[in-house]
Structure 1
Amino acid sequence: MNKMITSAAVIGAGIAAYGIAQKNNLISKKDIKKFQKRVNKLF
């Protein structure tokens, strides 16, 4: 149960950071794809 909560928190933080970075154009599209692949591996 604890693992679920922590992974949900990490994903939430990742999504928030992703939104901020997108606004500031900090991440390239390649990095976004890498990030998505990593998230998909978790599930």
Structure 2
Amino acid sequence: MGTLNKTMTSMIAFGAGIAATMYSSRTNMMSGRNMKKMRKQIKKMF
């Protein structure tokens, strides 16, 4: 059950990260930096 929960949360976080990067790339073209920051934050979460 624990591993299933971890997989679910990582999938949700991954999806949220993709959505955020897609949104940020539309609003500004400096999405490269934002994407790196997002990845670091996601790594901290897990």
Give the shorter-chain TM-score range: 0.5 to 0.7
**How many percent identity over aligned positions?**
38
Which residue matches 2:19? 16
Which residue matches 2:6? 3
**Structure 2 unmatched runs, 5+:** none
**Structure 1 unmatched runs, 5+:** none
- Structure with larger Rg: 2
1:26: Cα distance to partner?
6.2
- Say what the alpha-carbon RMSD is for the aligned residues: 2.5
- TM-score norm. by structure 1 comes to 0.62
